[in-house]
Amino acid sequence: MRLSSYFLPVLKENPSEAQIVSHRLMLRAGMVRQSAAGIYSWLPLGHRVLKKIEQIVREEQDAAGAQEMLMPTIQPAELWQKSGRYDDYGKEMLRITDRHERPLLYGPTNEEMLTDILRGDLKSYRDLPKILYHIQWKFRDEVRPRFGVMRGREFLMKDAYSFDLDQAGARRSYNRMFVAYLRTFARLGLQAIPMQADTGPIGGDLSHEFIVLAETGESGVFCDRALIERDVLSEQVDYSGDLQPIVDSWTAPYAATEEKHDAARFEALPPERQVAARGIEVGHIFYFGAKYSKPMGAVVPGPNGEQIALEGGSYGIGVSRLVGGIIEASHDDNGIIWPFSVAPFHVGLINLKAGDADCDAACEDLYGKLKAAGLDVLYDDRDERAGAKFATMDLIGLPYQVTVGPRGLKAGVLEVKNRATGEKEELTVEAMLAKLAAARVA
């Protein structure tokens, strides 16, 4: 992509409405614009990050055996009247009436809708287990939308739902999602810690929140430092095997949100392992048994013809919240520092002297070569001051900056800067390509 034609409306000044760093940087870097309180448009740069996060979430759901589908944003009120949640959900639910006076709502979650689909289409216990998911916009009319995309009213969520014949099966589905979540957040460059949590309005008794530690987090959390230091991607996972030992090893060390905090257990830890911090909830998994299948009549005939109510669980990831969450965890005074896996572009190519025939030709050549190496490139071909170009690149946080100028060209080198470490090196074209290709594979 050429910056001269890209829609990247960066702001020089700090927007006054932003209270936390991720919101400020997302506005300044031209990633989002607010349309109404808690409702955002995703501009091209922000949209690229959102799609990359979504894709990692999708790959890990698929690997864990979940199947992607897509349910609508608008739901009939009738489904929620059947489960008994229509009145309970209260003012957070956006209720709509169509031209025929039929009550509809903008879905805040999809337990009812999917339970209803399975109710009609599962014929036998042999059709189970199933885990289905979609990545779809949700609406919750939050009292206090704030912090940009972190607490929006319209937000993108991955929500999965599992259906099993019995509790042991439901536990296996829960464990699959538990492990998939650990892997997903790690691939996004985040250390997310599973914490015992309150089950809230969805109910049930087995529930974990996945929390990223950050000063601006909305929840108080307590955990054993051992959990912060673990690297899940170095651990082998076989989804066809028994996942219980992995889940046990992650849930044994102490970790809880303030609602579930057990001060005695926490204080029994050696002081250097006691971490009391704030955190951002990026995912939440629940086992809720027959909570929806019973009232909605989602039953299947078992082996002896008996009627078995489906055992369910639900599993959410805040895809749009994660964009802000990753920035909270990874930025400096100059701007965002994207982990390679979700960066909107991997490389920013900076032409220090746009209009100079040699610089232009060298940059065009590099632009082609970088793209051919499978890298996403943003080429700053604008006729702008060098300082402004560097500031924009630092602000938008691409992992690598490759700078081409007349002096380097004469010497046969270009400058490569690592955004995260600030380290700069002069490399030949071949050495630079090898270095970035290696970063892509890592």
Task: Rule CB under 6 A: choose which of 112, 116, 224, 281 binds ligand ATP.
Answer: 281
Two structure tokens written together for 45? 């740069």
Establish if 282 lies at the interface with ligand ATP (CB under 6 A). yes
How far apart are the C-alpha atoms of 356 and 221, rounded to whole Å?
55
Interactions with ligand ATP, residue window 16-45 (CB under 6 A): none
Which of 318, 335, 399, 405 lies at the binding interface for ligand ATP (CB under 6 A)? 318
Amino acid at 127: D
Q: Taken in order 19, 22, 25, 29, is the CA torsion positive or negative?
A: negative
The smaller minimum CB distance to Mg ion, of residues 105 and 211, is found at: 211
Per partner kind, with CB cut-offs from 5 to 8 A, the member of ligand ATP, Mg ion, none near residue 282 is ligand ATP
Write down the least CB distance from residue 39 to ligand ATP, Å: 11
Residue with Cβ nearer Mg ion (84 or 201): 201
* Residue among 82, 85, 140, 171 that touches ligand ATP (CB under 6 A): 140
Q: Which of 171, 208, 291, 321 binds ligand ATP (CB under 6 A)?
A: 321
Binding residues (CB under 5 A) for Mg ion: these are: 284
Would you mind telling me the total number of residues written for the chain in this entry?
A: 442
Of 109 and 330, CB closest to Mg ion:
109
Q: CB–CB of 264/167 below 8 Å?
A: no
Select from ligand ATP, Mg ion, none the partner in contact with residue 157, using the beta carbon and a kind-dependent cut-off of 5 to 8 Å: ligand ATP
Q: Is 284 in the site for ligand ATP (CB under 6 A)?
A: yes
Region of 65-73, 269-277, 316-324, 380-388 interacting with ligand ATP (CB under 6 A): 316-324
CA distances from 433 to 2, 15, 174, 278, 349 (A): 19, 37, 43, 40, 12
User: How far apart are the C-alpha atoms of 164 and 131, rounded to whole Å?
Assistant: 9
Q: Please, are residues 284 and 202 in contact by the beta-carbon 8 Å criterion? A: no
Using the structure block, give the residue that is written with the tokens 């090196």.
Answer: 425
> Residue 167 and residue 310: Cα distance in Å, rounded?
10
Give Cα 300 distance to the centre of its chain.
Answer: 34
Q: Say if residues 209 and 284 touch (Cβ distance below 8 Å).
A: yes
* Binding flag, residue 203, ligand ATP (CB under 6 A): no
Compute and round to an integer the Cα radius of gyration of the chain: 24
Is 194 a binding residue for ligand ATP by CB under 6 A? The answer is: no
Q: Which stretch binds ligand ATP (CB under 6 A): 69-77, 94-102, 267-275, 276-284?
A: 276-284
Among 58, 45, 60, 48, CA closest to 11: 45
d(CA 31, CA 51): 13
Report in angstroms how near the CB of residue 165 gets to ligand ATP at its nearest: 25
Tell me how far, at minimum, the Cβ of 185 lies from Mg ion, in Å: 15
Strand partners, 139: 154
From the list 151, 291, 331, 389, which residue makes contact with ligand ATP (rule: CB under 6 A)? Answer: 151
Rounded Cα–Cα distance for residues 125 and 162 (Å) = 14
* Residue 397 interface partner, choices Mg ion, ligand ATP, none, CB cut-off 5-8 Å depending on type: none
Looking at 129-137, 255-263, 278-286, 384-392, which segment touches ligand ATP (CB under 6 A)?
278-286
Rounded Cα distance between 74 and 319, Å, is 19
Candidates 59, 141, 142, 360: give the one binding ligand ATP (CB under 6 A).
142
Stretch near ligand ATP under the rule CB under 6 A, chosen from 81-89, 280-288, 347-355, 356-364: 280-288
Nearest to Mg ion of 134, 208 (CB atom): 208
3-state secondary structure at position 48: helix
Please, which residue, 323 or 352, has the CB nearer to Mg ion?
A: 323
